[in-house]
Amino acid sequence: MSTNAEVYKGTEITIVTIRRGEGEWTSRATYAIAGRDPVQLELAHQSYASESEARQAALQAAVENIDRARSSIGKP
C-alpha cells in the first residue's frame, strides 16, 4: 500500500494504491472541498496492471468529481 498527496485547484487529494496480487493494483482517493463533507472514491472494482495506472485513475476520478462539485457552486 502506498499513499500520495496531490493538490488540484486548492483541494488536497489523498490517493492510496493497494496491491491485490501479482500485477494487480487498485486505488482510492479522498478529498474535501471547503464547507462540504470529505469524499472517498473507491476504485476497488477496477484492477490496474501497475501502481502508476491505479494512482492515475484515482486522481482522474477525483479531479472529475471536484470539477463537477465546483461548477455546481459556481466556481470555475
14-72 per-position pLDDT tens digit: 999 999 888 899 999 999 987 788 999 987 678 999 999 999 999 999 999 999 988 87
Kindly give, in sequence order, each residue whose CB lies less than 8 Å from that of residue 74, ignoring residues fewer than 6 positions away. none
Are 12 and 6 spatial neighbours (Cβ–Cβ below 8 Å)? yes
Q: Which element (helix H / strand E) includes 33?
A: none
Q: Name the β-bridge partners of 20.
A: none
In the chain, the amino acid numbered 10 is G
Give the three-class secondary structure for 46. Answer: coil
Residue ranges covered by each domain of the chain: 2-72
pLDDT of residue 26: 93
- Above 80 in pLDDT, residue 75? no
